[in-house]
C-alpha cells in the first residue's frame, strides 16, 4: 500500500489500515515529507514532514519557540480568508500573545470553577439518560454523546436558554464540515457555510459580552469581559474567537471519546467487566486509555522558526511539521501492545490532549469530568447498555469523528 498522508484518499481508508500505515512510517529512520497541492480558495499548498513517533511529537510540542503555532495549526493550511475568522484564537498563537490569552481564560478551568460545574454536569447527564430511556435504543451519538459537551460549554459561558437553540443550530452546521474535502464545488460551499456559522456564533457571544460588561453576573462571559486584577480582559474579537474555539475544541472531542468509548467497552467485555465491577477504581485509567486509543484529534501542525536538527532530520526555518498524535499514541516503544485496549495500562504519557507544552489541552480536566459523569450515569442506570454494529465515521484528516453509533440497553 502506498502511503500519502497529504492525499485525501488516505483518510477514507479504514482506521485499521491507517494505523498499519503509521506503524510502517514509525519504523523508518527519518520523518517523511509529504507534498500538498494548492487548491484555489481552500488550501495554500506546500507540504509537511510527518512526525509519527511519540518522542518526536513530544519534542516538537514542548519546544514552542522553534515549533510555532503561528500562523495556524490545521493542515492542509487554509488560506488567509479562513484564518481571518480564527485569527484571534489562542491555539494559533505563540507567546506572549498566547500566554496572555491563556492567563485570562484559564480562570474558567481552575479546580474551583470545575468543582462548581459538577452539579450541573451530573444533572445534565441524568436528564440526557432520562430522555434516552424515553426514546429507546437508537443512535448513541445523537441521543447521548453529542448532548453533554455543548450543554456544559453553554453553562460555563452563561449562554441564556433563549440563545441556545441558535447556538446548537450553528454548531450543527459548523461541524458538518470536515478537514478533508471530498470534491471542490461541494467543499467551497461547505467551507463557506462553516465559516458563516462560526462568525454567527461569534456575533452571538459578542452581543452577550456587551450585555455582561454593562451588567456583570457570576458567569464566565462576565469574568472574561471585565478586567481581572492585572487589568486584563478580552476584546470583543478575542471573546468571539474563544467561544468558537471552545465549541470546536471541546464539543466534538469529548463527544467522540464517549462514542468510541461505548464501542470499545462493548468489544472488550473483560475491560468493561473490570470497569463496572469497581467504577471508581478504574474510570480514571479507562478515560486516559480511551483518549490514547481513540486520539479524538489526530493531528496538529507547527511551523519551524529556525534551522533545527530533529533526530538527524535537518529542518529549515519555514518548514512545516505535522504532529500525528494518533500515531504517537500507538508507538510500541511507549505503549507495549499499543493496539490493545487496556484500561489498566499506564496510558498517561499519551499525547491525545496534545504534547507537554504551552498548548496542552486547556479543557482536559473538564473533558475527564464529563466523560466520567456520563459513563457513571449510563452504567448505573442502564447496565445492559452496549453498542450494536459498526459506527459511521466522518471522513476527516483531523477529527476521529463518529457521526452515528447504533446502541441498545
Ligand atoms: C477528550 C476530549 C479532548 C481532546 C482529545 C482534546 C484535545 C486537544 C488537543 C490535542 C489540543 C492541543 C492543541 C495543539 O497541540 O496545538 C487541545 C487544545 C485545546 N483544548 Fe482540548 N481536547 C478535548 C477537550 C476539550 C474541552 C472539553 C475543552 C473546553 C471546553 C477544550 C479546550 C481546548 C482549548 C481551549 C485548547 C487550546 C489550548 C491552547 O492553545 O493553549 N478541549 N485539545
Q: Please spell the DSSP secondary structure of 215-277, one letter per residue.
A: S--SSHHHHHHS--TTS----HHHHHHHHHHHHHHHTHHHHHHHHHHHHHHHH-HHHHHHHHH
Q: Is the pLDDT of residue 177 over 60?
A: no
Q: Is the CB of 257 under 6 A from ligand 1?
A: yes
Which of 86-95, 160-169, 293-302 has the highest average model confidence (pLDDT)? 293-302
Q: Is the CB of 201 under 6 A from ligand 1?
A: no
CA distance 79 to 81: 6
* Cell 500507538, located at residue: 330
Q: Write down the mean pLDDT value for the chain.
A: 90
CA of 251 to the centre of ligand 1 (A): 10
CA of 351 to the centre of ligand 1 (A): 11
Angle 209-214-220 (CA atoms, 0-180°, nearest 5)? 40
CA of 34 to the centre of ligand 1 (A): 26
Q: Is the CB of 253 under 6 A from ligand 1?
A: yes
Q: Is the CB of 72 under 6 A from ligand 1?
A: no
Q: Which of 361, 370, 396, 401 has most ligand 1 atoms within 8 Å of CB, for mutation?
A: 361
Structure letter (DSSP) for residue 12:
G
Query: How would CATH label the architecture of 8-384+392-396?
Result: Orthogonal Bundle (1.10)
Mean pLDDT of 150-161: 89
Quick: pLDDT tens for 184-221. 445 667 777 777 778 888 899 999 999 999 999 878 89
Quick: pLDDT tens for 352-392. 999 999 999 999 999 999 999 999 999 999 999 999 999 99
pLDDT of residue 262: 98
Quick: pLDDT tens for 46-102. 899 999 999 999 999 999 999 999 988 888 777 676 667 656 789 999 999 999 999
Amino acid at each position: 500500500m502506498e502511503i500519502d498522508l497529504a492525499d485525501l484518499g488516505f483518510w477514507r481508508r479504514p482506521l485499521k489500515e491507517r494505523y498499519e500505515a503509521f506503524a510502517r512510517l514509525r519504523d523508518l529512520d527519518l520523518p517523511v515529507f509529504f507534498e500538498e497541492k494548492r487548491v484555489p480558495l481552500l488550501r495554500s499548498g506546500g507540504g509537511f514532514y510527518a512526525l509519527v513517533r511519540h518522542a518526536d511529537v513530544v519534542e516538537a510540542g514542548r519546544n514552542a519557540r522553534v515549533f510555532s503555532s503561528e500562523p495556524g495549526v490545521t493542515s492542509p493550511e487554509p488560506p488567509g480568508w479562513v484564518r481571518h475568522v480564527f485569527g484571534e484564537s489562542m491555539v494559533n498563537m505563540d507567546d506572549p500573545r498566547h500566554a496572555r490569552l491563556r492567563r485570562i481564560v484559564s480562570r474558567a478551568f481552575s479546580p474551583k470553577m470545575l468543582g462548581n460545574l459538577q452539579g450541573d454536569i451530573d444533572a445534565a447527564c441524568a436528564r440526557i439518560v432520562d430522555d434516552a430511556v424515553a426514546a429507546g435504543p437508537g443512535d448513541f451519538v445523537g441521543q447521548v454523546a453529542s448532548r453533554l459537551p455543548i450543554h456544559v460549554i453553554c453553562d460555563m459561558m452563561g449562554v441564556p436558554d433563549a440563545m441556545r437553540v441558535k447556538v446548537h443550530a450553528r454548531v450543527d452546521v459548523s461541524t458538518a464540515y470536515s478537514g478533508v474535502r471530498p470534491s471542490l464545488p461541494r467543499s467551497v460551499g461547505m467551507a463557506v457555510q462553516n465559516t458563516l456559522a462560526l462568525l454567527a456564533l461569534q456575533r452571538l457571544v459578542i452581543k452577550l459580552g456587551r450585555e455582561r460588561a454593562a451588567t456583570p453576573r457570576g458567569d464566565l462571559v462576565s469574568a472574561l469581559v471585565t478586567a481581572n486584577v492585572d487589568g486584563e480582559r478580552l476584546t470583543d474579537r478575542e471573546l468571539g474567537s474563544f467561544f468558537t474555539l471552545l465549541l470546536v475544541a471541546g464539543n466534538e472531542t469529548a463527544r467522540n471519546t464517549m462514542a468510541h468509548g461505548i464501542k470499545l467497552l462493548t468489544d472488550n467485555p473483560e475491560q468493561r467487566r473490570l470497569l463496572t465491577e469497581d467504577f471508581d477504581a478504574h474510570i480514571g485509567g479507562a478515560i486516559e486509555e480511551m483518549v490514547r486509543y481513540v486520539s479524538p484529534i489526530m493531528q496538529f501542525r507547527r511551523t519551524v522558526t529556525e534551522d533545527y536538527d530533529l533526530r538527524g532530520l535537518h529542518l529549515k526555518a519555514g518548514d512545516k511539521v505535522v504532529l500525528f498524535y494518533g500515531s504517537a499514541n500507538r508507538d510500541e516503544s511507549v505503549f507495549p501492545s499499543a493496539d490493545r485496549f487496556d484500561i489498566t495500562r499506564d496510558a498517561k504519557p499519551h499525547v491525545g490532549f496534545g504534547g507537554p507544552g504551552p498548548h496542552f489541552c486547556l479543557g482536559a480536566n473538564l473533558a475527564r469530568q464529563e466523560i466520567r459523569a456520563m459513563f457513571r450515569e449510563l452504567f448505573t442506570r442502564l447496565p445492559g447498555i452496549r453498542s450494536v454494529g459498526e459506527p459511521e465515521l466522518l471522513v476527516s484528516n483531523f477529527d476521529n469523528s463518529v457521526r452515528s453509533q447504533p446502541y441498545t440497553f
